[in-house]
Structure 1
Amino acid sequence: MVLINNLIGNFGKYHLWLTFIILVNKFGVGLHQMAIIFLAPPTQFTCPDESECCDNPIYNTTLFKRTIITEWHLICKDSWLKDFTQTVFQFGVLIGSLIFGAASDRYGRRKTLIFAVVMESLTGIVASFLPDFWSFTIIRMFLGISVGGIMVIGFVLLMEYVGVMYRDALSALFHVPFTMGHIALALFGYYIRDYTHLQLAISVVNMILLFYICILPESPRWLLAINKSSKAIALMERVAKFNNLPTDEIPTMTELYQMEHKSARMKRGSILDLFRTPNMRRNILIMAFLWLVCSYCFYGVAHYISHLTGDIYTNVIASGSVALCSCFVSIPLIRFLKRKTLVIASELASSICLILIAFVPEGTISIVLGCTGVFFTFMVFIVVYLYCSEMFPTVVRNAAIGICSMMARVGSMIAPFVAGLRPFGIWCAPVAFGIFPLISAVLCLLLPETKNCELPMTIEEGEALGRNQNQNITVAEELT
Structure 2
Amino acid sequence: MPGTVRMGLEETLLYLGRWGKYQMLTYFIIAVCMNYPTSWQLYGIVFEGPSVPVSYSCSPKPEIGLAQKNDTCSQWKFVEKIETNKAVPSSKLQQVVGNFTYYYEGSEPCSKFEYDPSQLGYEFEKSDGTIQQQWDLVCDKGTWVTWSQVVFTVGALVGATICPPFADYFGRRKTFFLCQLLMCVFGIGMAFSPTFASFCVFQFLTGGFAMGNDLCGFVIACELFPKDMRSVLSPLIYFFFSTGSAILTGWTIAFPKWSHLQLAISLVPLLTLLYYPFCPESWRWLMAKGRNNEAEFYLNRAAKFNGLKPVDRAILFDNLSENNKDVPVKSEGIIDFFKKPMLVLYMAAMAFIMSASNLVYFGLNLMSGALAGDPYINFLALSLVEIFGVFIAVAVVGYFGRRIPIMCFFFWGAIFLFLSAIFSKVEGLKDNLGEDKLGKFITSFTIVGKIGITASYCIILVYIQEIFPTYMRAFGIGITAGLGNIGTVLAPISLLASELEPTKYWIPTTIFGIVALLGGLVTLIIPETVGRELPATTEDVLNMSHTLSPEEWKAARHQAKLIFTFSAKSTDSPDQGVENIAFEGDESRSPNINSSNKL
TM-score normalised by L of structure 2 = 0.70
Looking at structure 1, the residues matched to 465 and 316 of structure 2 have their Cα atoms a distance apart, in angstroms, of 25
Compared CA separation, residues 122 and 288, structure 1 to 2 (3 A): same
Deviation at 1:166, TM superposition (A): 3.3
Counterpart check, 1:437 vs 2:448: no
Matched to 2:154, the amino acid is F
Matched to 2:55, the amino acid is Q
- Of the three residues 403, 406, 417, the one matched with 2:482 is 406
Counterpart check, 1:46 vs 2:57: yes
Compared CA separation, residues 205 and 396, structure 1 to 2 (3 A): farther
Counterpart check, 1:158 vs 2:210: no
Looking at structure 2, the residues matched to 330 and 262 of structure 1 have their Cα atoms a distance apart, in angstroms, of 32
Q: Percent identity over the alignment?
A: 26
Equivalent residues of 1:280, 1:463 under 8 A apart: no
Looking at structure 2, the residues matched to 257 and 144 of structure 1 have their Cα atoms a distance apart, in angstroms, of 46
Higher helix share: 1
- The alignment's C-alpha RMSD in Å is 3.5
- Of the three residues 270, 291, 295, the one matched with 1:232 is 295
Counterpart check, 1:418 vs 2:481: no
Counterpart check, 1:90 vs 2:95: no
Counterpart check, 1:343 vs 2:406: yes
Partner in structure 1 of residue 21 of structure 2 = 13
Deviation at 1:35, TM superposition (A): 0.4
Q: Which runs of 5+ in 2 are unaligned?
A: 1-5, 60-65, 74-109, 430-437, 563-569, 574-599
Equivalent residues of 2:35, 2:241 under 8 A apart: yes
Moved more, 165-174 or 288-297: 165-174
Looking at structure 2, the residues matched to 206 and 291 of structure 1 have their Cα atoms a distance apart, in angstroms, of 28
Deviation string 1:177-234 (CA, Å, 9 cap, x unpaired) is 2222222222111121221211110011111221343122222223334444444344
Q: How does 1:260-409 map to 2 (within 5 A)?
A: 260-261=325-326, 278=340, 281-304=344-367, 306-360=369-423, 361=426, 363=438, 364-391=440-467, 400-409=476-485
Equivalent residues of 1:233, 1:251 under 8 A apart: no
- Of the three residues 108, 111, 125, the one matched with 1:55 is 111
Moved more, 8-17 or 326-335: 326-335
Deviation at 1:287, TM superposition (A): 2.1
Matched to 1:201, the amino acid is A
Compared CA separation, residues 385 and 462, structure 1 to 2 (3 A): farther
Matched to 1:21, the amino acid is I
Q: Secondary structure at the match of 2:67?
A: coil
Equivalent residues of 2:8, 2:319 under 8 A apart: no
Matched to 2:67, the amino acid is E
Compared CA separation, residues 93 and 257, structure 1 to 2 (3 A): farther
Counterpart check, 1:209 vs 2:266: no
Q: Which runs of 5+ in 1 are unaligned?
A: none
Looking at structure 1, the residues matched to 116 and 421 of structure 2 have their Cα atoms a distance apart, in angstroms, of 35
Matched to 1:367, the amino acid is T
Q: Secondary structure at the match of 2:211?
A: helix
Matched to 1:203, the amino acid is S
Compared CA separation, residues 428 and 37, structure 1 to 2 (3 A): closer
Number of matched pairs: 473
Looking at structure 2, the residues matched to 273 and 215 of structure 1 have their Cα atoms a distance apart, in angstroms, of 42
Deviation at 1:144, TM superposition (A): 0.3
Compared CA separation, residues 262 and 302, structure 1 to 2 (3 A): closer
Looking at structure 1, the residues matched to 320 and 470 of structure 2 have their Cα atoms a distance apart, in angstroms, of 15
Moved more, 435-444 or 186-195: 435-444
Deviation at 1:429, TM superposition (A): 3.8
Partner in structure 2 of residue 192 of structure 1 = 255
Q: Secondary structure at the match of 1:46?
A: strand
Moved more, 85-94 or 14-23: 14-23
Partner in structure 1 of residue 35 of structure 2 = 26
Higher strand share: 2
Looking at structure 2, the residues matched to 353 and 174 of structure 1 have their Cα atoms a distance apart, in angstroms, of 26
Partner in structure 1 of residue 245 of structure 2 = 182
Compared CA separation, residues 112 and 452, structure 1 to 2 (3 A): farther
TM-score normalised by L of structure 1 = 0.86
Partner in structure 2 of residue 464 of structure 1 = 540
